[in-house]
Amino acid sequence: MSPLYALVAVAQAQDVDHHVNQARLFVKKQWYEDAEAELEKAVRLDEGKADYDAWWLLAQVRYELLDAEGAAEAARRATELTRDPDQALEAQQLADWIDGTFGVVVIEAPYEAMTSRIQLERDSLLMDPDLKRFVDQMALGWTKPQPLPVRAALPAGDYLIQGYSVTVEPGLKETTLDLPMSALGSTGFAALQVTRAEVGLGAGLYIGERTEGLGPSMEMQIGVTQPLKGMLAGLVLDYSLRSYSVEGFGPVRHPATWTLGARVGKELMVSGPLAVRPMVGYRYGYLPGVPFECVEGAQVSCTPPGTLQVEPDVLVYAVGRAHIPFVEVSVDWRRAGRTTATGLGVRLVVDQAFGAVESPAEAQIQESGDTIEYTTDDPGWTTTGFRMMANFSHAF
């Protein structure tokens, strides 16, 4: 061996050690992509091509990065590079396990250079928690746009990919799935959405001169949401545990707090399992505790508070019928970003209520229990409401 060649070999060995040590540091910090980059540099060097430590660590890092096929390849290479029987056995066992557990799926697009989010869902039972984690992390990564074709090793079994059934066979056997244009992009994502039942629970508050006596309320909502040509549409039924203050008497709870409505919007995948869903809608229903100041004469005549020139003889708290346009934004979390999974989220809603009370109408005096009939020439009112609810959803 020439002196120059020996110097080059020593220098390369030092470089390999440097890359491997740097990769180990990155692994401790779980910076697996950086660790893989260092190890790829190491195994490209002449000395690194024959370095067991570099290849064995690369096998483990590739598995953490969900590249099971590449991990098996690196593990088999490591087996060939060591004379230690325990090291050889460990590397061979990993390679054999991957080979017997995983298969390869290739997802093809109709044209080159296409990208699309891909929905992956296991369609058969998977007992191993580590393999479940592997599938969930793969599904989570595919919620970001992927350049097609995609080649991936998955635990053997049945899957739904963009709603299409595919069976992955063990032995790292390759299965190809050709997706049509209708399964890609926003069109494909919209096609995967399904009808969802939703339940919301939270708190609400109306702010306005005509509703200043209303206290904060507990809000409950039942809804059904249906995908419709890339949009979402649904019906909602709301009930509020609402009370209002009666001067000189205290808080009064009224059962007439139902509203029924509809809403439309769109779901936007943001990152991983998170989706933002802006919607607009309309509800119609009842709102109690709308105050009026009244004077007695031939009949009881009422006006909004602050408009009488004399002291009122009686205060009336009417039940208003309200038209309520609203806007809402929901942030939902669904396991691995799946559109079909059970989800949890938070919803913020702004209501703008426009209402009116009946006239003539009857009211009950709290102190005596007597009923009076009253009229008003100004039955209309408006108020702004805010609601925040925890949201639970599940696909049919």
| E strand segments, 266-313 | 268-271, 274-296, 300-303
Identify the weakest region by mean pLDDT among 123-137, 172-186, 197-211, 379-393: 172-186
Identify the weakest region by mean pLDDT among 28-32, 238-242, 266-270, 377-381: 266-270
Is 337 in the same domain as 280? yes
pLDDT of residue 3: 47
pLDDT of residue 272: 57
User: Which contiguous run of DSSP H or E holds residue 350?
Assistant: strand 343-356
Choose among 243, 194, 195: nearest CA to 216.
Answer: 243
The CATH number linked to 387 is 2.40.160
Cis before 149? omega within 30: yes
Is 228 in the same domain as 359? yes
Is 350 in the same domain as 250? yes
Is 41 in the same domain as 151? no
pLDDT of residue 13: 53
pLDDT band with cut points at 50, 70 and 90 for residue 1: very low
Is 129 in the same domain as 79? no
Number of domains into which the chain is organized: 3
Is 184 in the same domain as 274? no
Mark which of 189, 217, 234 sits at the end of a domain. Answer: 189
Position 50, amino acid: A
Q: What is the mean pLDDT of residues 180-202?
A: 73
For 68, the domain range is 3-98
Q: Is the dihedral of CA 284, 286, 292, 297 positive or negative?
A: positive
How far does Cα 187 stand from its chain's mean position? 19
pLDDT of residue 335: 61
* Token pair recorded at residue 27: 């692994």
Q: What is the mean pLDDT of residues 54-64?
A: 95
Is 266 in the same domain as 180? no
Is 144 in the same domain as 218? no
Please answer whether residues 245 and 304 qualify as being in contact, where contact means their C-beta atoms are separated by less than 8 angstroms. no
Mark which of 98, 122, 157 sits at the end of a domain. Answer: 98
Identify the weakest region by mean pLDDT among 83-97, 339-353, 378-392: 339-353
Is 279 in the same domain as 368? yes
Say how far apart CA 269 and CA 144 lie, in whole Å: 9
pTM of the model: 0.63
